[in-house]
Structure 1
């Protein structure tokens, strides 16, 4: 990129994951600051190739978002400018822009690992990171009054950039979406995957609002959830719409009732988890509670990890979930939590490997949500209550006829539904009649459980009891309490610590009042 002919009052909008124009704080700031605005996206090699951070289907979704965003800039400029693409180290690209006299704006957002280092390097160059996502920054206790703060942001006016008096421009860098896909041999295999971009996002939102009353009864069953959920999560992850845009559209167009209330609560949860990562970037790498750092490290077994990834654990509900994840890039929340629980609590494997696998394959994976959910589900916060899913019970509760299991574990197609919770107990005569062999030999159609449920569960609880008291005590540490973003701060953490000894989960989700 060589912006040597830039106007002295020129500004670059560095798009990363807020791939929209409206309600995009960096776009609004750039148009207020400069006479000439150049929108830019940098293809970062770190996200591509065999060691890339995203599967090919997620990369393709991103590319579709970029094409749609470029079209929107074309419309906004009256056909005079599109999104400019660059390829390489973003810091080097931005340094060239700054050296040529551009002021670079980017929307501030929570990140960790590589993204944290990248943004710090960009800030050192003088890139202006613009807040506007509803999160609290620069205050000692960001959780104090948080719910009221976010609700006020949801209801506030959106950022509406004006291009009157501002000229949009672009540069011919020779970089294109098609060229990037050819260079990295992008070949998505997942299906069905939604189409990326703000245009598709708006249609998805409109369609969902028409059926929002059915939402509460559709989110738990993996059979119903694909059509019953909003379908908005990948668009929120890539910023095709802001959560505020969705919130305001829902309040304006959706009928009041339980469906609307439940969905709106999910928008608060979205901001809640982003606030967590904003407060402490370590969520992506480090156990929240120091007493639980390295838990399951000593029980690491590559064969068990491989069985979980491949959907060959011998637990049909877990296996269906893992195969669905790899084939489609999607799972509803309950199945994500159940498969994570099976990985961490039953197979007792290190959490980061599982969380990274989800992040690679989920089209909608948002680091702020994926990694905080994994730590919470695993129990690495150290709260006395801990939800351990029973994958056998989930068959009975969520797929009693076995329709979903047979879709993703076709080798069990002939097995009667009553045997699906525990295929290994199917009598040999029944196995022969239905043509399904359960076992560990080369002729078996489906494996026995790689770990026995009751024994594994008890083994986990015995191991967890060891650091449990110390972990509960550490919740009274103000630094740990802030990491975990307890709604009532240190006092709330101490109250939870005082409940040490509670082991059975309540199975309920925190309400909005608890934010």
Structure 2
């Protein structure tokens, strides 16, 4: 009889509890990945996601072959594939990691559990990192996170038992047809090998000055670890990243500056799980405002022209447009700029959060539902426990890209505009545009300062009329960050940490 190790967002062999447990049984092991057509028709999936997964599957296949096994890739629903395998090789167990995804994957997992129950097949899940299933007390979450992240690392098995007799793996598989077929010329490549190399280069050299350089899109490309897609798809274990970063930061020969940088980096690993825990505890956050009374803040349909201009990097605000075009081309932008993109869509453009969130999900190669949806809501002012963070796109541009280096790279229309004018090209005179260029760059969609004031006033008035302390307390109790028992909180809203520091892991 066969043990199926079902790979999902854990495309690696090292620190893989289900794989280690299956190998220890001494019976045939079938490593399985299922390409699920239904999943790839969801509105938050895209071709760039599959490209990273495809790279990672090929690397995983090479790793498994070194263990004298192979990766079986099949297309269809998971229960259909398990039914086929049960008929051909006899499935005795299904081992896998827990996954905190969207509603679709949640229902998929429930159907797999029901299938196993109906066929008298053992089903076991392993906790992959510091997200706790069926968490009863958020007050003690930090303790559980620390326990899991400091636990021992599972080495990859020396070798795996053979595949079931008659089972042959193919080196090719049919790719899905994502709802969003988009080109991403400079997408990060996937696979554990690349992820481990990134971790090594970050810990050895690139991490120094991390906390100072991650905000600017100019410096963040190198200063950030760039491990985010590898964490999202599990090509490298988050626990191993944490432990290696901790060891590097505590080594007696490590300079204080590097120690501080790695401390900052580890704090973002903590925030990674903190945000995913929100979706784990309340799956409805994929679709509904965290603070339920804020659900009706925006009831009218989105302005389609504004949404399209934002999506295409044509708002007329240089830094916003440069970020969106860079994101489309590379699949990545640093967290500070992600927050600004979402905030501009929600406040200055007054768009309902859901469509912008879906667009960004499709653009991010490192899309992680548990981080993405709570963060999209936080940057849209829908949590009720965070102060509004309304970004001024001009001030952000002047502060984070003072020389216009990033803007010029992604907005060729402004390539000849000097630094003192590039952040507000709409203020250039006709003579200046004739001299420096910029005639072809679009005018701003609106006055961003006036739009920000209008948004702040509208949200303030809505909160006064429709937001209750009881609902705010409910959100804080369920999702707020804290250590130890809940203390009396006389002031609302609050959630420790500045909003732009609550990191989409970058």
- The residue aligned with 1:451 is 446
**Structure 1 residue 217 displacement after superposition:** 2.6
Greater mean alpha carbon deviation, residues 323-332 or residues 485-494: 485-494
Q: Equivalent residue for 1:85?
A: 73
Match of 1:466 in 2: 461
Pairwise CA distance, 1:248: 1.4
Describe the SS at the equivalent of 2:91. coil
Say how many residue pairs are matched: 485
- Alpha-carbon offset, residue 494 of structure 1: 5.1
The answer to whether the 8 Å contact 2:103/2:286 transfers is yes
CA distance in 1, matches of 2:21, 2:409: 49
- Tell me how far apart the structure 1 counterparts of residues 285 and 170 of structure 2 sit (CA, whole Å): 34
The equivalent residue for 1:118 is 108
Judge which range, 127-136 or 427-436, deviates more: 127-136
Cα distance, 1:159 vs. partner?
A: 2.9
**Structure 1 residues 410, 363: closer, same or farther in 2, change over 3 A?**
same
**In the alignment, does 2:11 pair up with 1:19?**
yes
1:23·1:245 contact (CA, 8 Å) conserved in 2?
yes
Which residue in 1 is equivalent to 2:197? 203
The answer to whether the 8 A contact 1:82-1:170 is kept is no
Distance in 1 between residues matched to 2:471 and 2:91, nearest whole Å = 49
How far is the alpha carbon of 1:367 from its aligned partner?
Answer: 0.9
Specify whether residues 56 and 509 from structure 1 end up closer, same or farther in structure 2 by C-alpha distance, changes over 3 A only: closer
Offset at 1:402? 0.8
- 1:4 — aligned with what? none
Using the size of structure 2 for normalisation, the TM-score is 0.88
Offset at residue 29 of structure 1 (A) = 3.1
Q: Secondary structure at the match of 1:319?
A: helix
Paired residue for 2:126, among 127, 130, 140? 130
Equivalent residues of 2:18, 2:96 under 8 A apart: yes
- C-alpha distance in structure 2 between counterparts of 1:177 and 1:496, whole Å: 58
8 A Cα contact 2:129 2:149, kept in partner: no
Displacement after TM superposition at 1:132 (Å): 4.1
Alpha-carbon distance in 1 for matches of 2:160, 2:430: 79
For residue 140 of structure 1, the aligned residue among 129, 136, 143 is: 136
Alignment of 1:43-82 (within 5 A): 43-48=35-40, 53-77=44-68, 81-82=69-70
Matches of 1:498 and 1:153, distance apart in 2: 30
CA contact (8 A) 2:45 2:362 kept: yes
From 184, 187, 195, the counterpart of 1:190: 184
Contact 1:313/1:319 (<8 A) preserved: yes
Give 1:412 deviation, angstroms: 1.2
CA distance in 2, matches of 1:341, 1:474: 26
Assess, with a 3 A threshold, how the Cα gap between structure 1 residues 69 and 510 changes in structure 2: closer, same or farther: closer
Measure the CA separation in 1 of the matches of 2:48 and 2:25. 37
Deviation for aligned residue 1:499: 7.7
Provide the rounded CA distance (Å) in 1 between the counterparts of 2:488 and 2:60.
44
Task: Show CA shifts across 1:1-26 (max 9, x none).
Answer: xxxxxx2xx20011011111121222
> CA RMSD for the aligned pairs?
2.8
**Residue number in structure 2 paired with 1:94:** 82
Distance 1:171 1:271 in 2: 41
Is residue 43–residue 358 contact of structure 2 (8 Å, CA) maintained in 1?
no
Contact 1:477 1:490 in 2 (8 A): no
Query: 1 CA distance for matches of 2:284 and 2:484?
Result: 18
Q: Which is worse superposed, 449-458 or 92-101?
A: 92-101
Secondary structure, counterpart of 2:6 in structure 1: strand
* Aligned 1:397-416 pairs, distance under 5 A: 397-416=399-418
Q: Which has the higher contact order (CA 8 A, sep 6+)?
A: 2
Aligned 8 A contact 1:86 1:173 in 2: no
- TM superposition shift of 1:53: 4.2
Q: Note the residue ranges of structure 1 that are not aligned, 5 or more in a row.
A: 1-6, 438-444
Shift of 1:193: 2.3
Q: 1:98 to 1:381 in 2, by over 3 A?
A: farther
Q: TM-score, normalised by structure 1?
A: 0.87
SS at match of 2:399: helix
